[in-house]
Amino acid sequence: MAQRDFLLGSMREALLGLDGERPASAEPAPTKLASTVMLVRDDEGPLEVFMLRRVSSMAFAPSMHVFPGGGVDRRDAEDEVPWAGPSVEEWAETLDTDEASARMLVAAAVREIFEETGVLLASPVSDESQAPELDRDVAADLRARLVAHEIGFGQVLLEHHLVLRSDLLRYRAHWITPEVEPRRYDTRFFIAAVPEGQDPDGDTSEADHCEWLRPDAAVGAFEDGDLMLMPPTLVCLEQLAEVSTVSAALAQAIAIVPVMPQLVQTEAGPAMRAQLP
């Protein structure tokens, strides 16, 4: 394990939430399971990753550049979610968790990127080698209804004869929000190639900007103070910057352990200290 300090600097308010950190005497806020996905491509040159900039009014991580994702929904755990690829049991072993949580985390990963970007990691039940065929207006309506919790993701797949493709995801990281923060998530990070013929749009109320970035360029912009990144996002980008193609990114051997940074005071100022594998 290697210790690393992430200086807060001007990002203190954004990292700790608009409400500030909890009082020292208070119990840590409970965590909520969440999934986030690095969507990558290399068809237009060097490896790029799709990123969103969260709106400044968000209670958690305002103005941060992030990967698409979010908290699990109780309906993500439903057995009716059509499934192809590694089984729930296999994912539970991969994610080092119970089967119910594994089902929710994988389903949430696929659902969240559909809600936030329009990319759907699914295939027709009749032919898993084909891409899903959803009319643009139909897809937009489904995304809006999912966000409004009017329907569950399993219902979307069943009604359109689609199956979730868990084989298109790779597990990359596990980070837990520090105990000092008022809103906390137990987040699994995944990576997936954008399927041929699909193009993420970033049409979500949670973001005011979206863009494709080279991982090294994103890291450089962060170091220059031109964009803000949370520690797990920065580490994932640094790892992606080590490769130049989607195939290499999907094949990267990444050591994964749960990482929960701690707020510390250093000579350079307040920082989030993490023990990294």
Task: Please name the helix (run of DSSP H) or strand (run of DSSP E) that holds residue 156, with its range, or none.
Answer: helix 153-159
Number of domains comprising the chain: 1
CB 34 within 8 A of CB 71: yes
Q: The domain containing residue 154 runs over which residues?
A: 2-276
Q: Average per-residue pLDDT in the chain?
A: 91
Beta strands in the chain (DSSP E): 2-7, 31-41, 48-54, 65-66, 69-71, 83-84, 122-124, 162-165, 170-176, 184-193, 207-213, 258-259, 262-266, 269-276
Find the mean pLDDT for residues 109-131: 92
Query: What angle (nearest 5°) sits at the alpha carbon of residue 229, between those of residues 187 and 207?
Result: 80
Of 78 and 277, which is predicted with more confidence? Answer: 277
Task: Please name the helix (run of DSSP H) or strand (run of DSSP E) that holds residue 136, with its range, or none.
Answer: helix 136-147
Find the mean pLDDT for residues 39-51: 94
Alpha-helical (H) ranges within 160-277 are 215-223, 231-240, 246-251
248-266 residue pLDDT tens: 999 999 999 999 999 999 9
CA distance 207 to 212: 14
Q: Give the CATH number for residue 107.
A: 3.90.79.10
Position 126 pLDDT exceeds 90: no
66-80, 86-100, 190-204: which has the highest mean pLDDT?
86-100
148-183 residue pLDDT tens: 999 999 999 999 999 999 999 999 999 999 998 888
How many Cβ atoms are within 10 Å of 132's Cβ, its own excluded?
20
CB 105 within 8 A of CB 33: yes
CA distance 56 to 53: 9
pTM attached to this predicted model = 0.92
Alpha-helical (H) ranges within 1-65 are 12-16
Of 134 and 10, which is predicted with more confidence? Answer: 134
Of 259 and 76, which is predicted with more confidence? Answer: 259
